[in-house]
Amino acid sequence: MTMFRLRPKQDYTLEWARQLERSRGHVRIHSRWDDGSSRFLIRGNSAGLLYLARDVITLAATVWPKDHPGSPEMDYEPERELAPGLELGLLDKDSVPFLVSISREPPPVPFETFEFQNPPFSGIIETEWRSDSQIRTFLEMDTFNILANQPALLSLAEHLVQLADEVVPPGQRVTYDRYPLASGSIPFSLEKSEFIEKITSGRLLSTQG
């Protein structure tokens, strides 16, 4: 079992991401519509899944005024607040864009540290949900949207951390097609992938200045 610990205000930095790449390899994330279905698929290698978990946790940890108009920044600045929508820019070429946003029901509760103890891997990912989790997914202007409240975002982060564990084999998938998805939502899946194909996006954290 491994412990994952993140301090959103301190760890939402380019240096954290570079350290991640040094320990787990290049971040790889690809998103698309699943073959032969109406389900949206987000694939990531170990580094990519942890990178996405970091972003989701930071989103869940940030409490904004209701009229805040800002946009997310790569480097977290304590005197500024992130906007309630986070569009992941570090995607492999030909990915379908997706946007993760936070809803305010119930109102988010500020926290400084996220800790999660990975349970022993028994062949499947344990998809437990925090109390009051709510998720709604929809398509808007060719972008897949995941609108989730704070409990659901933290639950999704836990699922991502479990998938990223080095003992979990590539091909392992978590599918969301029931609770806590709202009625009318589009099902989606998270999948761990090896990414044998070459990197074609040209956007590597280790090459950014």
- Does residue 208 belong to any structural domain of this protein? no
pLDDT top residue among 75 and 124: 124
What is the mean predicted confidence (pLDDT) over 129-156? Answer: 93
- Does residue 50 belong to any structural domain of this protein? yes
- Does residue 73 belong to any structural domain of this protein? yes
- Does residue 129 belong to any structural domain of this protein? yes
What is the mean predicted confidence (pLDDT) over 169-179? Answer: 94
pLDDT of residue 126: 83
Per DSSP bridges, beta strands 85-87 and 98-102 are antiparallel
- Does residue 205 belong to any structural domain of this protein? no
- Does residue 199 belong to any structural domain of this protein? no
| Contact call for residues 164 and 29 (beta carbons, < 8 A) | no
Least confident window among 41-45, 68-72, 140-144, 146-150:
68-72
| Contact call for residues 99 and 85 (beta carbons, < 8 A) | yes
Residue 168 sits in which domain range?
3-193
The count of domains in the chain is 1
- Does residue 203 belong to any structural domain of this protein? no
pLDDT top residue among 121 and 204: 121
Give me the percent of the chain exceeding a pLDDT of 70: 79
The strand ranges marked E within 26-81 are 29-33, 40-44
What is the mean predicted confidence (pLDDT) over 17-28? Answer: 87
pLDDT top residue among 85 and 59: 59
* Cα–Cα distance for residue pair 54/144, rounded to 1 Å: 19
Per-residue pLDDT at 201 exceeds 50: no
- Does residue 123 belong to any structural domain of this protein? yes
* Cα–Cα distance for residue pair 199/22, rounded to 1 Å: 17
